[in-house]
Amino acid sequence: MSERARIAALHLAVIALLFAAQFVLPAYHHGIVSRVMVLAVFAIGYNLVFGYAGMLSLGHAMFFAAGMYGAGLPVYHGGWGIGPAFLFGIACGAVLAAGIGLLALRTSGVAFMIVTMMFGQVAYLLALWFGDWTRGEEGLTIAQDLRVVGPLDLTDPTTRYFVALALFSAALLASLALVRSRFGRTLVAIRENEERTRMLGYDTFRTKLAALTVSGALCAAAGAAYALLFGYMGAGFANVPYSILPLLWVLVGGAATVIGPFVGTLAMFYLTDLSNDLLNRNFPDWDISALGIVGLALVLLILFFPKGVMGTVRARWLPWLP
């Protein structure tokens, strides 16, 4: 099998596996996997900037939230249809990312991280400030009758699973095509040595801006889908932890691998779930926040497993893995 065919087969197999899983998974896991697929799109978007272009952003929650509110508020307040709302949400994320990029990409390294964190914080505060529209942390629930598009009822678990799978497949294949294109190779070149890349005649600023915009659009697609599929939007999704989570998922799954973000999101969901259960059972009077486990995972990963699952697989066994 040629390398190209091997890569295509592997990624299509993941999609096929998820398709088949819908028929065998028990209801509880069925729900989790739907959620994981949507959030994996968020991680895929983050991976493009963090993994491939090597830019550590701590403000990506704002793009997720832009999609969430961009799609959810018009439905909730304006009675928009699901389709236009979804597209509008994506557009909000892309425009926001391009605007933030024009500013933040003037910096790099640590300054970029701080600037994105601050813009992310501003976005969160804005969601609180416009509490009349967003109801802040408490959030809004989108009623069931607003979440029907033609014959599709997005509140039905099976429909939800397939819509999530469709979105995830599109994002996965788009990211695969993107990182294997000239654009993707240029991103890696910028990560490895930006000054050299500039002196090879690349407009590195524009390339990074394009990457951030696409990333923003993907994250917004995840946010929009989350609002429409699960019917909830709240300012908490714009806060700092939701900028940290995609970083964690990508690190767990393997930065700069195409499947990594999904693997990481899935693994962390179940890990958090299991350890919560375990701790609650053994220490019933402790207050456990999922973030404690997130913190521990981050430290252990960066110390002992910096390549993540798929990064390690690539380094040890499958050097062709994109």
Partner 1 sequence: MAALAGTSNAPLLSTRGLSRSFGGLKAVDGVDFDLPAGEIRAVIGPNGAGKTTFVSLVSGRIAPTAGRIVFDGTDVTRLPAHRRVGLGIAYTFQITSIYAALSVADNVALAAQRSAGGAALKRAVDEALTRVGLRDRASELAGNLAYGHQRLLEVAMGLALKPRLLILDEPTQGLSDAEIDGFVQLVREIAKGATVMLIEHNMAVVMALADRITVMDQGRVIAEGAPDAIRADPAVQAAYLGAPQEAASHG
Partner 2 sequence: MGFGPYLLLATLEGLVMAAVLALTALGLSLVFGVMRVVNVAHGEFFMLGAVLAWAVSNAVGGHPAIGFLAALVVAPLAVGAVALASERLVLRRLNYNPEATIVATIGLLYILQQVALTFYGADARPVVAPFNVRLQLPWFGYSAYKLSVIGFSLLLLGLTWFVLTRTKIGLIMRATQYDRETATAFGIAVDKVYAGVFVAGAMLAAIGAVLVVPIRQAHYLMGHDPLLLSFIVVIIGGLGSLRGTMVAALLVGLSDGILSVFFSPTLAKIVATTAVALVLVFRPQGLFGTAQR
Please tell me the distance from the alpha carbon of residue 130 to that of residue 132, in angstroms, as a whole number.
Answer: 5
Instruction: Give the residue among 179, 223, 200, 180 at the shortest CA–CA distance from 67.
Output: 223
Tally of CB atoms within 10 A around 20: 10
Please tell me the distance from the alpha carbon of residue 279 to that of residue 273, in angstroms, as a whole number.
Answer: 10
- Residue 199 binds which entry of partner 1, partner 2, none, CB below 5-8 Å type-dependent: partner 1
The pairing of beta strand 152-153 with beta strand 140-141: unpaired
Please tell me the distance from the alpha carbon of residue 205 to that of residue 191, in angstroms, as a whole number.
Answer: 12
Binding of residue 185 to partner 1 (CB under 8 A): yes
Residues between 103 and 122 with contacts to partner 1, criterion CB under 8 A = none
- Residue 200 binds which entry of partner 1, partner 2, none, CB below 5-8 Å type-dependent: partner 1
Which segment (162-170, 186-194, 277-285, 300-308) binds partner 1 by CB under 8 A? 186-194
Nearer to partner 2, 155 or 275 (CB): 275
- Residue 277 binds which entry of partner 1, partner 2, none, CB below 5-8 Å type-dependent: none
Binding of residue 265 to partner 1 (CB under 8 A): no
3-state secondary structure of 251: helix
Instruction: Give the residue among 158, 167, 1, 170 at the shortest CA–CA distance from 71.
Output: 167
Nearer to partner 2, 91 or 113 (CB): 113
Q: Assess contact for 100 and 212: CB atoms under 8 A.
A: yes
Q: How far is the CB of 241 from partner 2 (least distance, A)?
A: 8
Locate 73 and state its tokens.
């508020």
Which segment (84-92, 168-176, 187-195, 302-310) binds partner 1 by CB under 8 A? 187-195
Q: Assess contact for 229 and 38: CB atoms under 8 A.
A: yes
Q: How far is the CB of 173 from partner 1 (least distance, A)?
A: 21
Residues between 182 and 241 with contacts to partner 2, criterion CB under 8 A = 240
Residues between 198 and 227 with contacts to partner 1, criterion CB under 8 A = 198-204
**Burial class of 31 by CB neighbour count within 10 A (0 to 12, 13 to 18, 19+):** middle
Nearer to partner 2, 115 or 189 (CB): 115
In single-letter form, the type of residue at position 66 comes to: A
Q: Judged by CB under 8 A, which of 113, 188, 240, 279 binds partner 1?
A: 188
Binding of residue 297 to partner 2 (CB under 8 A): yes
Q: Judged by CB under 8 A, which of 68, 220, 235, 251 binds partner 2?
A: 251
